[in-house]
Amino acid sequence: MNKNNLDDLEFLTSVITTMLLLVITYLQYQKNRPFWWIILIVSITMAANAYIKYNKIEKKN
């Protein structure tokens, strides 16, 4: 496999994970669960991770 393909795959998995975490955060918030904000912090961290991976891919192109 090409290194660029692996970078693309890593970026896509980060984005998908971020979206799933945001959905989970929303559902936990709607159900008034006490620790939804912890999931929100993890979601923001994953979004930052995906953004860094996106910048890495863009610099190569």
Domain map (residue ranges) of the chain = 3-60
Listed as ranges, residues in the chain with pLDDT below 50 are: none
Q: What is the pTM of this model?
A: 0.82
Q: Residue 32: what are its φ and ψ, rounded to 5°?
A: 60, 40
Contact 36, 29 (CB under 8 A): yes
CA–CA distance, 42 with 7 (Å, rounded to integer): 22
Amino acid at 20: L
To the nearest 10°, report the CA torsion of 12, 38, 26, 11.
Answer: -10
pLDDT computed for residue 1 by the predictor: 58
Give residue 44's pLDDT.
96
Distance (Å) of CA 17 to CA 4, 6, 10, 30, 32 = 20, 16, 11, 20, 22
Residue 8, pLDDT score: 86
pLDDT of residue 61: 72
